[in-house]
Each structure stands twice: as structure tokens, then as C-alpha cells.
């Protein structure tokens, strides 16, 4: 590694720390500008793209958030931050199934018992709770009314079968 490469990496690392500080203080415009400069200088930095997608999401620019998120996943589909941020975006736009898969991928990209693993597990719990309470899930579950109607239908069918069967039975075998 050359001195010039090391200097660029150090500068980018400092810029990323500054961008993270800005985001932590909810200075989203400044943080976005810093992240845009980072991805321009290092277009292969998946985490920077993922964070940029998160900023766009916070600023309600779904198209830009999607583009940045897809770029981060294209670079690193099996890393924690790209999967987590893409999962957050999927959740916000209502793609719960995709969100669940992305949060699971984020969890698998972590070491057990870390803050990242905890974050991924929390998102998984949220998305799975959403799936269980969603209208599609509720529509697929049997309700007491539906079970009662099915049971009544079965009983009518059995009663009809029993009546038809009694005429066919041999009186000596009863």
C-alpha cells in the first residue's frame, strides 16, 4: 500500500466518522453531503452507500434511498449494514417479505451476542409481528365462524352419508 493510498483511506475514515457524527445529531443535510462525497471518492464502499440510502429514507426520497440501497447490496449482499438498511427501506415501503429476508441476512452477517445481532433480531421481531398482524395473515387464519360453518358442513355430509348408507345395509348385519 502506497503512502498516497493510506492517506486517502485515512481521509475517508475521518470523513465517515464526521458523517456518522452528523447523522447522530440529526444533521441530515450535512451528513448526506458528506456521504455523497465519500461514495464519489470510494464508490465500492457498501456501508457508505447503505448509510446514504438511510439518509435518503429519513428525508423521504424513496427513489434515491432505493438506488443507494440497491447499490450497497450489489457491492456487498452478505454484509450487515447493507442488509439492515435495505431491510429498513423494504419495511417502510411495505415489502414485509423482502424485509424479513434482508433482516435475516443481516443477522447471519453478525457475530452472536453483539449490538449488530441485537439490532437485527429486533428488526426481525418487528417484521414478524407485522406479518402476524397483517390482513393477509388474518385472512388465512381460520375464524370461529368459519370453523363452525365447516364443521356444520361436515356434519351435514356425514348425516347424509349415514342416511344413504342405512338403506344399503344388510338388515342381518346391524
Q: CA-to-CA distance for 115 and 147, rounded, in angstroms?
A: 44
Q: CA-to-CA distance for 158 and 160, rounded, in angstroms?
A: 5
pLDDT at 114: 95
- DSSP H helices, 25-143, are 28-41, 46-58, 62-75, 80-92, 96-108, 115-133, 135-140
Does residue 118 sit in helix, strand or coil?
helix
Query: pTM (2 decimals)?
Result: 0.71
Q: CA-to-CA distance for 65 and 59, rounded, in angstroms?
A: 9
What is the residue-level pLDDT of the chain in tens, covering all 174 positions?
A: 676 666 667 888 899 999 999 999 999 999 999 999 999 999 999 999 999 999 999 999 999 999 999 999 999 999 999 999 999 999 999 999 999 999 999 999 999 999 999 999 999 999 988 877 655 544 555 555 555 555 566 666 666 655 665 555 554 544
Break the chain into its structural domains and give their ranges.
3-141, 143-174
Q: CA-to-CA distance for 156 and 133, rounded, in angstroms?
A: 34
Q: CA-to-CA distance for 105 and 111, rounded, in angstroms?
A: 12
Assigned architecture for domain 3-141 = Alpha Horseshoe (1.25)
9 to 50, 73, 76: CA distances (angstroms): 19, 22, 19
pLDDT at 166: 53
Q: Which of 151, 92, 154, 173 is nearest to 126 (CA)?
A: 92
Q: Look at phi and psi of residue 26 and say left if phi exceeds 0, alpha if psi is from -120 to 50, else beta.
A: left
Q: CA-to-CA distance for 72 and 66, rounded, in angstroms?
A: 10
Amino acid at each position: 500500500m502506497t503512502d498516497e493510498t493510506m492517506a486517502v483511506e485515512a481521509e475517508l475514515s475521518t470523513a465517515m466518522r464526521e458523517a456518522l457524527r452528523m447523522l447522530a445529531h440529526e444533521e441530515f443535510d450535512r451528513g448526506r453531503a458528506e456521504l455523497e462525497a465519500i461514495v464519489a471518492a470510494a464508490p465500492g464502499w457498501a456501508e457508505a452507500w447503505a448509510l446514504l440510502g438511510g439518509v435518503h429514507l429519513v428525508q423521504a426520497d424513496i427513489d434515491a434511498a432505493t438506488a443507494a440501497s440497491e447499490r450497497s447490496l450489489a457491492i456487498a449482499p452478505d454484509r450487515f449494514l447493507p442488509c439492515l438498511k435495505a431491510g429498513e427501506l423494504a419495511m417502510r415501503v411495505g415489502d414485509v417479505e423482502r424485509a424479513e429476508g434482508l433482516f435475516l441476512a443481516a443477522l447471519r452477517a453478525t457475530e452472536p451476542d453483539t449490538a449488530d445481532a441485537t439490532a437485527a433480531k429486533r428488526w426481525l421481531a418487528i417484521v414478524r409481528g407485522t406479518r402476524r398482524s397483517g390482513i393477509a395473515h388474518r385472512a388465512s387464519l381460520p375464524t370461529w365462524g368459519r370453523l363452525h360453518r365447516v364443521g356444520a358442513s361436515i356434519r351435514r355430509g356425514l348425516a347424509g352419508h349415514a342416511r344413504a348408507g342405512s338403506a344399503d345395509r344388510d338388515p342381518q348385519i346391524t
